Amino acid sequence: MEQQKLFLKNCPLCNKSNFSNFYKYHHIIDIAYSYCNSCAIVFQNPTCSKQEWNNSYKYNYRKIYDNSTTPTESSLLLQKLRAEFYSYIIKFQQSRLQVSFGC
């Protein structure tokens, strides 16, 4: 089933509309992230509805990425590395903002 793209116009955390493109890649489908300039959260944008996310994680996610119904060791390691990568990017962007405000 094709998922509907839902373009967010406001941050899902702080509801502000001041965000920028953060990161985009293609893995099975095109995936793009936005970075909120107000609260620094990174979120997938476009995304899909809550019901579509629930169904996707419940029925499809592990089958697509792990060929399993439970997370594999390699999948858990990948998620850990991904979290570290995004944490590094966020810290870099925050330090860049601090420099621009300080000048």
Q: Give the binding site for Zn ion (CB under 5 A).
A: 11, 13-14, 36, 38-39
Are 48 and 5 within 8 A, CB to CB? Answer: yes
Query: What residue type is 41 in one-letter code?
Result: I
Phi, psi torsion values for 3, nearest 5 degrees: -85, 145
Q: With respect to Zn ion, which residue has the nearer C-beta, 13 or 64?
A: 13
Q: For 68, phi and psi rounded to 5 degrees?
A: -155, 165
β strands within 1-103, DSSP E: 19-27, 29-36, 42-44
Minimum separation from the CB atom of position 36 to Zn ion (A): 3
Q: Is 28 helix (H, G, I), strand (E, B) or coil?
A: coil
Instruction: State which residue, 20 or 98, has the beta carbon closest to Zn ion.
Output: 20
Least gap, CB of 90 to Zn ion (angstroms): 12
- Minimum distance between the CB of residue 87 and Zn ion, rounded to whole angstroms? 17
CB nearer Zn ion, residue 22 or residue 36: 36
When the beta carbons of 13 and 77 are compared against Zn ion, the nearer one is 13
Whole-number minimum distance, CB 71 to Zn ion, in Å? 29
